[in-house]
Amino acid sequence: MTKLTGQCLCGDVKFAASGDIAMQGNCHCTDCRQSSGSAFATLVFMGKNAVEIKGALKTFDHVVDSGGTLTKSFCPNCGSQLFTANRARPNMLGIRAGTLNEHEEVKPQFNVYASSKMACTHLDPDIPAFDKMPG
């Protein structure tokens, strides 16, 4: 069982998670790049019920290229993006890896939307890369 903790930049939103990590990955899609302001987003996925959140969140819903709806949750004070939820997987929560205190637990298992990655981004050849979302 993994225990994770984290917070936003200003500390108004904190979280603790305890349970199994379902999967971890890097997403290079345009939406993740634009919403994070970085070359890609690294997400750690856990069961939604395993994550306890303290503090108010603001959300933004958007439709992705698969036609699904994602919800980004962020701190209304500092704007730090903390979580991603997919309506197609209502029991799963993606935690933004940069908000975690336990950095050693972040071990991405795959890259998705590698076809959309920035040219300057080098992919680890030991991690599978998919042009789109597999499955």
Q: For 108-134, what is each residue's pLDDT tens digit?
A: 999 999 999 999 999 999 999 999 988
Q: What gap in Å lies between CA 88 and CA 131, rounded to an integer?
A: 20
The dotted CATH code for 2-116 is 2.170.150.70
pLDDT (0 to 100) of residue 133 = 86
Instruction: Answer whether 20's CB lies under 8 Å from 1's CB.
Output: yes
Over residues 24-51, the pLDDT tens digits come to 999 999 999 999 899 999 999 999 999 9
Residues paired with residue 74 on neighbouring β-strands, in sequence order: 58, 81
**In the predicted model, is pLDDT for residue 65 greater than 80?**
no
